[in-house]
Structure 1
């Protein structure tokens, strides 16, 4: 089955989104630390981190994995925790690469495909651009390449990509609308 993506660029706080799934750029130890993850902790409470820790009891989380939990919030019933930072395997790099982002996007897609709804709405920030120090231009280009695929499909997904700052929003608009 294929997914048709409709991309919308948004300015502001990701946690204000009304979606089926909100993407949390997290880490391999499933802790709500800094940046967007800290905002999730403030917005959803300690219960969200408990849900995340339950997932670690089920399986080891590796960089690039995506874990689904309930959100404990009415505006978005589920959170997809994308393991951006590697805090578990010391033999591997702590920081993400563009390949990590590509793997996360593929894993997000697998979760969307498993959802029974024909129409799904997700929202995500610029993953890996904070503590991960990835180049915003490169991450946005990766998003553009990934979400422009599968235009004729059986399932539809609206993707809201959030720029928290005005400069991020402008950069998103510039790259995503460029042909």
Structure 2
């Protein structure tokens, strides 16, 4: 399926669902999780933790609270304090897409799942995420965005996404 690479703060995006780069405990710490937690209010972390733990590569869905979305899909690509793998990134991305479809979402925004604090190589992680999105056959999804926070990450994402699309 087609997708767009954008730059900005995931917590400021408007979509049916925002994807959180989570660990299996679903406790929201720093990075993407911290940004979402700060913008959504305290209920987001409490609800996420109550739904955990999930399996590596698994997802859990919460309300989006004060975010401009209906849902936050917490995609667990790493164990707490551990590292993500190609398989965990692939499974977390695929499961987040399937969850968004199951919720009848039309739009979803993905961060670089497993590529920040989770320690996986950024470009290889983005390549996996882009490939999974590209091959996914959606039911309701029509607007999938992959978001980068920094200029460098945005340029890298655009380059990798272009390579996957060709």
TM-score by length of 1: 0.84
Where structure 2 has 5 or more consecutive residues not aligned to the other structure, the ranges are none
Give the SS at the match of 1:167. helix
Alignment of 1:12-31 (within 5 A): 12-31=8-27
Distance 1:19 1:173, change over 3 A: same
Distance 1:166 1:116, change over 3 A: closer
Distance 1:150 1:96, change over 3 A: closer
Superposed CA RMSD in Å reads 1.8
Alignment of 1:87-106 (within 5 A): 87=80, 94-106=82-94
The structure with the largest helix share of the pair is: 2
Paired residue for 2:161? Answer: 176
Query: 1:7-27 deviations in whole A, cap 9, x for unaligned?
Result: 111111111111011001111
TM-score by length of 2: 0.90
CA shift, 1:79, in A, is 0.1
Provide runs of 4+ in structure 1 moved above 4 Å.
none
Distance in 2, Cα, partners of 1:43 & 1:155: 27
Where structure 1 has 5 or more consecutive residues not aligned to the other structure, the ranges are 88-92
The structure with the largest strand share of the pair is: 1
Paired residue for 1:40? Answer: 36
Distance in 1, Cα, partners of 2:153 & 2:32: 14
Alignment of 1:125-140 (within 5 A): 125-140=111-126
Higher relative contact order (CA 8 A, sep 6+): 1
Paired residue for 2:54? Answer: 61
Which structure is larger by alpha-carbon Rg, 1 or 2? 1
Distance in 1, Cα, partners of 2:48 & 2:107: 21
The answer to whether 1:143 aligns with 2:136 is: no
Paired residue for 1:90? Answer: none
Paired residue for 1:50? Answer: 46
Distance in 1, Cα, partners of 2:68 & 2:46: 19
Give the SS at the match of 1:6. coil
